[in-house]
Structure formats: structure tokens, C-alpha cells
Chain A
Amino acid sequence: MNAQFKRGIIDLCVFSVLVEEDMYGYKIIRELAEYIDVNENTIYPILRRLTKEGYFETYLEESDAGAPRKYYRVTKKGIDRYMRLRDEWDAFIGGVYRIINRGGKKSEEIFRRLGKRAEEETESE
């Protein structure tokens, strides 16, 4: 996948998790890793970059386990960024969705036809 495209999507995912609540680094990564194939080495640099760019701020908070943890919080600038990313994404994915579902009900027929063609081609091989 195009690196820039992927980066934009992962940024959006990190934002989406953090606009819900403030979280510490490891938790953010786990939340994302539950759904998409990412790990510490993908997410940590993103957290660092977005913090540097002023979209996140950090603060320390004591944990039950003892040592304090660094929490990330979305700034006002980050919220604006998130809204924009979100809008762009919605517009894009909405468009993609409309394209791939263009046939509407007809698409069932298209699938049938394609399936049949695939069968025929396997048979003739």
C-alpha cells in the first residue's frame, strides 16, 4: 500500500482512539492492534510526530502498578485536524463504496455471472 496513504489512515485511527479518552502509549497501541496489523514500532513514532506537531499533548499520571505513565491528550489543534481527516476519509470511502456498489441489486447478478465465468474458465483449462 502507498506509504503516505497508509500513514494518513493510521493517523486517523490514532486520533479516533484518543478523541474518546486520554490514554497512555501502550494502551493506544493495544487498542489499535486489536483491529489492525500494527505494533509498537509503527505507532510510537506516530505518537511522537503528532505530539511534536502540536496535535497531542502529554501529562504524567500515577498508575495502580506504581510508576507514573505518560498520557496523551488531543489538543484543540488536534481536534481540528481529526475533523478534517475524518471528513476527507468519509468523503473518500463514501465515494469508493458508491463505486463498488454501483450495481445495487444488479451486483448479485454480476457476482453470479463472474462466478460462472470463473467456473467455465477453470473447466476449459
Chain B
Amino acid sequence: MKKYLEDLENELKKKLKANEIEEILADHEEMIRTALEEGLDEDKIVEQFGEPKKVAEALGEVTDDKTDTEDAQEEDAKKKTFKTLATFAAGEEPVEFRIELANDDVTYKKAEGDSLRVSVRGNADTEEYTLAFKDNKFVLSSPKKSGFDFLSFGKNHVDFLIEIPAGLAIKNFFHKSLNGDIMMETIKTKAFELSTVNGDVRLRDTSVGEARLHTVNGDFDIKDLQADFFKVSLVSGDMRIKGACVKEDFHVSTVSGDVRIEDAESAGCILHSVSGDIEGKEFYPDRVALKSVSGDIRLQNKEDRDIRVEAKKTVSGRIKIRQEEG
């Protein structure tokens, strides 16, 4: 063992700093000692732990990467501000948005001027992205990965800022994301479809016709929503809505995510849960259909308004609709 450690030290000296060498040697001494205790033959050390030269090479790479780690990149990204990537003149005709991204975050905001502007932040390599606005269709999508680099995160993460002029009519808004978060402010659209796997979604002051939202693990945080029809499905992500007015059906289904609805009105309301809890506060649908397996559903209101219960079914959860006393 002594000989091996000495050889390793000599090799490490060619590549690394003293404090690192010390640590690596201590780690190897510990590992080799444990291996010997567990019956490794002294002659087999090199075979099992590798030629000192190769070990040093492998470790040299780790250190060389240091300036290039994701941490450093993330730090850099934070420091940088948004840079305009493209601007498009917005026409009179209603447009369609289609966004499909893997890990990239997007913030949608109302533009100051009349043009649609896309900006990016971070060490953004956006060359391989599709970004276009033509025939009244706006498209943004991350490159389809080829080969096996799908497991390398961080390197391909872009922060997008999309500014949409207030006068632009949107007929169809579609955003699909894997891990990227979505933030939206003051957006108005007719059809609205949003789905994420792990990405979180934050909507503020949104006015939509028909909305369909879906997430697996992401959380939804919605404030001030107006919709004709609103349907959300969650697997394990949670949802919070505060301030919503839905003309027709308000439909929520969750597997294990918890849902909280506050200050909301709707015509119909369908709430389904497997094991997640659904809580409504100042939530006044005209009629409700409630179904759960083991999750609790509770509506608690101050005002005594009529809520027609069309269906109420649970296996082991509790369902309660009540008016607060006083």
C-alpha cells in the first residue's frame, strides 16, 4: 500500500495542488485499507485501484473542469441580464403560439412597444433552437437531441423572456415543457394549453377562453384568472388558485397533489382526487360534482349562496361543504 500511495503522490504532483493531493491520498489510503481488511491481496492493489498514472489523469480532469462547473455557469447566468435575441413586427391578425422546450424557463410579459420580442439570459447557445414568427404563427422549440447527450443538464438551459404586445390577439397558445418553468403575466388568449413534467407554472392576470393545464410534478400558482372553461390535471404537483372567474366548467383532477382554490366563481365545478386534498375557500360554483378515493374535499364559504351538489362520492376521504359560522 505504501508503494502505491507514493507512486500516486508522485503522479498527482504533476497535475494537482498540494491541498488536493493530500485529500486524495487520504481517501485512497482509507479505501485501500478497507479493501485490505476485506481480504484484498496486497499484490492486487494496482489491479483494483488502477495505475497511479491513470488515477491521476482521471482526477486531473475533475479539477480542470472546475472553472467550467454548472455552479460557475449558474452564477454567471444570474449575473447576466436579458439580451434581445429577436424582434418581430406584430400584425393585426390573431396569432398562434407554439412553444416546446426541454429545460428552458420562459417568462411571458406584456411588451412596452408594438413588437413581439424574445430575449435570452445566461450562457445561451440558442443557435440550434427553432425560433420563428411567420404566417401568424410563433414557434419556439429546443433542439431535438441527437445522440446520447440527454443526460447532461445545465449546459443546455436557457432563460427566455418573451414580451407580447398588448394589442396582439392570440387565438391559440400552446406551451409544452419538460423541466422548464413558465411564468406568465397579463396574457390574453382564446385557446390555452400548457403542460409540463417537472416545470412549475406561475400565472398572473390571465384571461383565456378555453384553458387546459397539465403537470406531473410541477406546481401551479395562479392568481387572477378569467376563463370560459378551465381544466387542470395534476399528478403529484400542487396547485393554488387565488381569484378566478370561470364562466362554464371549472374542472380539477389530481392524483396526489393538493389543491387550494380561493376567491373563485364558476358555473359548473368538477373536482376529482385520488389521494390529494382539495380545499376551497370563498369558492362559489353554481353546481359541483365531487369525487375522491382517499383525499379530502372541503369547501368553506362565508356567504350563504346556493351550491347544487350533483355528485358526491368518496371511498375513505371526507367531503364537506359548509358555510362558516358567524
Where the two chains meet, the residues of A that have a C-beta atom closer than 8 Å to any C-beta of B are 1-2, 4-5, 7-9, 11-12, 24-27, 29, 39-42, 44-45, 48-49, 52-54, 65, 67, 69-70, 81, 83-85, 87-89, 91-92
Please tell me if the beta carbons of A41 and B30 are within 8 angstroms of each other in the complex: no
* A contact patch SS: helix
How does the 8 Å CB contact mask read for B139-160 relative to A, with 1 for contact and 0 for none?
0000000011111110000000
Cα distance A89–B150 in the bound complex, in angstroms: 9
CB distance from B16 to the nearest CB of A (A): 11
Please tell me if the beta carbons of B35 and A41 are within 8 angstroms of each other in the complex: no
Please tell me if the beta carbons of B62 and A39 are within 8 angstroms of each other in the complex: no
Give the contact-size bracket for chain B.
35 or more
20 inter-chain pairs at a CB distance below 8 angstroms, sorted by A residue, are: A4-B152, A5-B147, A24-B30, A26-B31, A26-B34, A26-B35, A39-B49, A40-B49, A41-B50, A41-B54, A44-B27, A45-B59, A45-B61, A49-B65, A70-B30, A87-B197, A87-B198, A88-B151, A89-B151, A91-B197
Cα distance A4–B27 in the bound complex, in angstroms: 26
Please tell me if the beta carbons of B150 and A88 are within 8 angstroms of each other in the complex: yes
**Residue B315 interfacial (CB < 8 Å):** no
Cα distance A30–B307 in the bound complex, in angstroms: 62
Considering residues A26, A29, A52, A89, which has the most beta carbons from chain B within 10 angstroms of its beta carbon? A26
Please tell me if the beta carbons of B31 and A25 are within 8 angstroms of each other in the complex: yes
Considering residues A40, A42, A65, A91, which has the most beta carbons from chain B within 10 angstroms of its beta carbon? A40
Cα distance A19–B295 in the bound complex, in angstroms: 29
**Residue B76 interfacial (CB < 8 Å):** no
Cα distance A1–B147 in the bound complex, in angstroms: 11
**Residue B10 interfacial (CB < 8 Å):** no
Please tell me if the beta carbons of A2 and B179 are within 8 angstroms of each other in the complex: no
A-B Cβ contacts below 8 A, count:
96
Where the two chains meet, the residues of B that have a C-beta atom closer than 8 Å to any C-beta of A are 24, 26-28, 30-31, 33-35, 37, 48-50, 54-55, 58-59, 61-62, 65-66, 69-71, 147-153, 178-179, 197-198, 217
Cα distance A97–B58 in the bound complex, in angstroms: 33
Collect the chain B residues with CB atoms within 8 Å of residue A39's CB.
48-50
Partner pick for B31 among A7, A40, A89, CB 8 A cutoff = A40
Cα distance A2–B69 in the bound complex, in angstroms: 20
Please tell me if the beta carbons of B151 and A41 are within 8 angstroms of each other in the complex: no
CB distance from B199 to the nearest CB of A (A): 11
Collect the chain A residues with CB atoms within 8 Å of residue B27's CB.
25, 44, 70
* B contact patch SS: helix
Collect the chain B residues with CB atoms within 8 Å of residue A48's CB.
24, 59, 62
Chain A residue at minimum C-beta to C-beta distance from B47: A39
Please tell me if the beta carbons of B65 and A65 are within 8 angstroms of each other in the complex: no
Cα distance A48–B65 in the bound complex, in angstroms: 12
Please tell me if the beta carbons of A41 and B179 are within 8 angstroms of each other in the complex: no
Partner pick for B55 among A11, A41, A67, A69, CB 8 A cutoff = A41
Please tell me if the beta carbons of A65 and B37 are within 8 angstroms of each other in the complex: yes
Partner pick for A45 among B62, B66, B150, CB 8 A cutoff = B62
CB distance from B256 to the nearest CB of A (A): 15
Please tell me if the beta carbons of A2 and B48 are within 8 angstroms of each other in the complex: no
Collect the chain A residues with CB atoms within 8 Å of residue B150's CB.
5, 8, 88, 92
Cα distance A49–B58 in the bound complex, in angstroms: 11
Collect the chain A residues with CB atoms within 8 Å of residue B58's CB.
41-42, 44-45
Please tell me if the beta carbons of A53 and B70 are within 8 angstroms of each other in the complex: yes
Collect the chain B residues with CB atoms within 8 Å of residue A44's CB.
27-28, 31, 55, 58-59
CB distance from B40 to the nearest CB of A (A): 10
Cα distance A44–B71 in the bound complex, in angstroms: 20
Collect the chain B residues with CB atoms within 8 Å of residue A8's CB.
148, 150-152
Please tell me if the beta carbons of A2 and B49 are within 8 angstroms of each other in the complex: no
CB distance from B218 to the nearest CB of A (A): 11
CB distance from A114 to the nearest CB of B (A): 26
Cα distance A92–B149 in the bound complex, in angstroms: 11
Chain B residue at minimum C-beta to C-beta distance from A42: B58
Given contacts A8-B152, A44-B58, 18 further A-B contacts (CB under 8 A): A4-B148, A4-B149, A8-B148, A9-B151, A24-B34, A25-B30, A26-B34, A40-B48, A49-B62, A53-B69, A67-B33, A69-B30, A70-B30, A84-B153, A85-B151, A87-B197, A89-B151, A91-B197
